[in-house]
Amino acid sequence: MTVIAPEGVRLTGDVLRGIGWADAVDAAGMNSPEIDARWLAEFTSERPLRRPRGGSAEFDAEVARLYRKAVLAGLTPREAIAALHGVDAQTAGKWITEAKRNGLIGSLTEERSRALRELGEG
């Protein structure tokens, strides 16, 4: 996807962060869980995610990281994680619920802020 600034508008990080990516993808006719997953995979180097029996803190942290990436990209985290890792949305939802219960995922607003902070540190 290419971003072209309107005449007289200077593209800055703030402007780019303000773009509603989900709306832009939808407008471009590219909105589907499979396309979301491919797009998410292009800026990640994901290995297949498999929940260990009984779960683990490391697994929950990985789910939280993917959740923040999806939020930052304007994608639905549950659907993006499901499509990216070849599980159904219900399974991805259970992973997210578990990570939330274990304190690794906060509200959507908190996670968007956290993702932006992490992006600035990277």
Band of the pLDDT at 16, cuts 50, 70, 90? Answer: low
Residue 40 has pLDDT above 80, yes or no: no
The Cβ of residue 39 has, within 10 Å, a number of other Cβ atoms equal to: 18
* CB-CB contact of 73 with 39 (8 Å): yes
Euclidean distance between CA atoms 45 and 22, whole angstroms: 21
Mean pLDDT of the residues in the chain: 77
**Overall pTM surpassing 0.75 (yes/no):** no
Indicate the residue type of 22.
A
Q: What is the DSSP letter of 7?
A: T
Instruction: Say whether pLDDT at 49 is over 90.
Output: no
pLDDT of 93-119, one tens digit each?
Answer: 999 999 999 999 999 889 888 888 877
Token couple for 43: 């800026």
Confidence of residue 43 (pLDDT cuts 50, 70, 90): very low
Exposed, middle or buried, 103 (CB in 10 Å: 0-12/13-18/19+)?
exposed
